[in-house]
Structure 1
Amino acid sequence: MKKLSIADIAKHLHVSKTTVSFILNGRAQEKRIGREVVERVQKFVDEVGYKPNPLAKSLRTGKSNTIGLMVEDISNPFFASIARLIEDRAYKNGYKIIYCSTDNDTAKTRDLISMFRDRHVDGYIIAPPEGIEDDISSLVKAGMPVVLFDRHLPNVSTDFIEIDNLFSTYNATRHLIQQGYKKIAYITFANNQTHMLARLEGYHRALGESGYESFVKEIDFNQNDDLITAPIAAFLKKNKNLDAVFFGTNHVGACGLKAITELGIKVPTDLAVISFDDYDVFKLFSPPITAIAQPIEAIADSVITVLLNRLNTSSQHISSQSIILKTDLNIRRSSKTE
């Protein structure tokens, strides 16, 4: 059955398209349209179950009441938790969220931004991959509200919310050193983005202050966890003199624990373990894993607050905000010597 349009309704009721549009948009009284005409249109609309085309409406009003949310991987517990909180708060403020995973892939992200533009989303929340600077700058220049989170793009002037990555890894590495560990490895994804570089710097800084050697293993991201676990296992087998390992993300950490289990390494007797991004797997592992916990609720709240402020004011003249939040180091048995 062909979907009815405003033109179809107008033709059937012998009234103008403009009159139907005003009635459906709640402007009948403002335009002084007679009660009889209003009732006739509303009765017909109810009978046929007419639903307005949201895209057509967004073209007329300039607002779609949707927000595009782009994260690295929506199945990752960190991003999933933040997305859920953002969605709840957005919905309470009259906005729906369309979210998707970029896989940290530049070309895919460009396609997704293009899709969101076609859908006339009102604002963007993005955990950006590398190489996307021009696309985001284009959105900002077009007057679109864009909030970055988890990492930022140094050459793009827009709002961003992230954590103090450098201090977080510095503090966690210092904890291992204070526990007496000296040969501490850092295993992470190969990545030149702001958050990952800052984490690596924090690790190097803590070891440098104590005069200890760095052991860094960078792994290419892959959708197949086996292709992350295998190089971690090979690195641990090759470096049997290590007494502690620090995983740079929860994804690397989960794969790292799998490698440790497969190799029969005892934690913390053979190897102390810390990971970034605390979540349930780390609490349930035996022994529970020491982890850096990001303030999920504060991140989500800051992101949506900043974006809603942009959406609700003509704020192009307002300077960009940079919000840096603190983390917690949840110390558990995987990193204690006693």
Structure 2
Amino acid sequence: MSKKVSIKDIAKLTNTSITTVSFVLNGKGHISKEISKKILDTAKEIGYEPNRMAIGLRTGVSKVIGLVVENIGGPFFGEMSKVIEAEAEKSGYRIIYCSTDNQVNKGKEAIRMLTQQLVDGYIITPFKGLEEEVLKLIDQGKPVVLVDGYFPGLNISHVLVDNYNSVLKAVNCFIEGGYRNIGFVTSDLDLIQLDERLSGYKSALISNGIKENPALIFKLPYLLDKSEGLKQIKTFINTHPEMDAILFTTNYLGVMGIICVKELGLHIPQDLAFISFDDTEIFSVYPPGITTIQQPVYQIAKYGIDILLSQMKGSTPENAATKLQIASNLIERGSTVAKNES
């Protein structure tokens, strides 16, 4: 194993002192341009990488941001993370990623680990049970921005899609197409964004004079394995033959819904009109094309990292929280063609 390059090696190769090398690498002191260039070129040539933790301990600035999300491997969070990383790099920051799977213990452990790494700021996907940890970070003076959710009643900057109006518009799309027995499939997670999607569904029914049928609302346990989840969704669909349309509140539920409809031998939209939250490639290619609620992933990520960077630079007044809910885009495809046209 090759020895890690140190500032002592750079000092020896450039015939300068360790102090001079340290000053140049940390942008301090008044070192001539010629010597500075020689040191920086040598550091790059021999592959010198600074110890971020040591720098953080010495300066209080690690140039690292902690990103804590539900699942970094999922399409929504994966796309969002790419934007955040690219924007952070423009300002000289690197990202440490953590996934929580919406489990409180994993979330708490992720925040503890990032705290030990002395990260400069946090972007966190919140869920019930993490309030205390997030408030501790803020009390310690750490910049925090929440994405894809928020803590009701807490004055913390957050950016997410307008969940309520997104689903309201989607359900209205069903109703305008002649569908009135509309099923709603969601997760049993206690998340504000899912609560707001359910509220949007109920409000759309009420505003169109349709009586809510609680039996058409199905909450699938989040930690259920896929095969059991598919079985339960198929049972839900079979149990309600009167249901002529169905809305899935997350990407993974929508994909499971497509599988279930296919295995049950049903046709979209003749037997069951279909809408899913989040837009991925499978929804555009699966016949006849699945109508989706497209989240503004780039905008959510861009606003999130911009707000955090502003906080870290001290550009945001203390106790001032930025709270954004961004409109989604309903992409209408063949799965919601009006009844008299299907």
Q: In structure 1, what is the equivalent of residue 230 of structure 2? A: 229
CA distance in structure 2 between the partners assigned to 1:25 and 1:271 by the alignment: 62
1:101 is displaced (CA, Å) by 1.5
**Is the deviation greater in 60-69 or in 49-58?**
49-58
Q: In structure 2, what is the equivalent of residue 72 of structure 1? A: 70
Identity across matched positions, percent: 38
**Is the deviation greater in 299-308 or in 46-55?**
46-55
Match 2:51 to one of 53, 59, 82: 53
Q: In structure 1, what is the equivalent of residue 93 of structure 2? A: 95
Alignment of 1:276-291 (within 5 A): 276-291=277-292
1:248 is displaced (CA, Å) by 0.8
1:155 is displaced (CA, Å) by 3.6
Q: After superposition, what is the alpha-carbon deviation per residue over 1:89-134, rounded to whole angstroms, capped at 9, x for unaligned?
A: 1111211122222111111011111111111111111111221000
Q: In structure 2, what is the equivalent of residue 320 of structure 1? A: 321
Is residue 182–residue 212 contact of structure 1 (8 Å, CA) maintained in 2? no
Q: In structure 2, what is the equivalent of residue 105 of structure 1? A: 103
Is residue 159–residue 320 contact of structure 1 (8 Å, CA) maintained in 2? yes
Alignment of 1:306-317 (within 5 A): 306-313=307-314, 315=316, 317=318
Report the CA distance shift for 1:63/1:287 in structure 2 as closer, same or farther (over 3 A): same
1:211 aligns with 2:210: yes
Q: After superposition, what is the alpha-carbon deviation per residue over 1:1-57, rounded to whole angstroms, capped at 9, x for unaligned?
A: 664656898899999865553354343526x9xx7xx89988997897654322101
Is residue 62–residue 119 contact of structure 2 (8 Å, CA) maintained in 1? yes
Is residue 124–residue 146 contact of structure 2 (8 Å, CA) maintained in 1? yes
CA distance in structure 2 between the partners assigned to 1:39 and 1:269 by the alignment: 70
TM-score (structure 1 length as normaliser)? 0.89
CA distance in structure 2 between the partners assigned to 1:240 and 1:301 by the alignment: 43
1:223 is displaced (CA, Å) by 6.9
Q: After superposition, what is the alpha-carbon deviation per residue over 1:285-322, rounded to whole angstroms, capped at 9, x for unaligned?
A: 11101111111221122111111111112645151010
CA distance in structure 1 between the partners assigned to 2:196 and 2:143 by the alignment: 26
Is residue 74–residue 80 contact of structure 1 (8 Å, CA) maintained in 2? yes
| Paired amino acid for 1:246 | L
Question: Any unmatched runs of 5+ in structure 1?
Answer: none
Q: In structure 2, what is the equivalent of residue 143 of structure 1? A: 141
Alignment of 1:128-167 (within 5 A): 128-167=126-165
**Is the deviation greater in 107-116 or in 215-224?**
215-224
CA distance in structure 1 between the partners assigned to 2:16 and 2:336 by the alignment: 76
RMSD: 2.8
Give the match's secondary structure for 2:83.
helix
Give the match's secondary structure for 1:187.
strand
TM-score (structure 2 length as normaliser)? 0.88
CA distance in structure 1 between the partners assigned to 2:83 and 2:41 by the alignment: 39
Report the CA distance shift for 1:283/1:46 in structure 2 as closer, same or farther (over 3 A): closer
Is residue 180–residue 210 contact of structure 2 (8 Å, CA) maintained in 1? no
Q: After superposition, what is the alpha-carbon deviation per residue over 1:178-210, rounded to whole angstroms, capped at 9, x for unaligned?
A: 111121110000122211101001111111232
Q: In structure 2, what is the equivalent of residue 178 of structure 1? A: 176
Report the CA distance shift for 1:41/1:186 in structure 2 as closer, same or farther (over 3 A): closer
| Paired amino acid for 2:105 | A
CA distance in structure 2 between the partners assigned to 1:43 and 1:251 by the alignment: 48
Q: In structure 1, what is the equivalent of residue 196 of structure 2? A: 198
Q: Kindly tell me the number of residue pairs found equivalent between the two proteins.
A: 334
CA distance in structure 1 between the partners assigned to 2:327 and 2:158 by the alignment: 15
1:269 is displaced (CA, Å) by 0.7
1:247 aligns with 2:245: no
Q: After superposition, what is the alpha-carbon deviation per residue over 1:263-283, rounded to whole angstroms, capped at 9, x for unaligned?
A: 111111111111111221111
Q: In structure 2, what is the equivalent of residue 63 of structure 1? A: 61
Question: Any unmatched runs of 5+ in structure 2?
Answer: none
| Paired amino acid for 1:278 | D
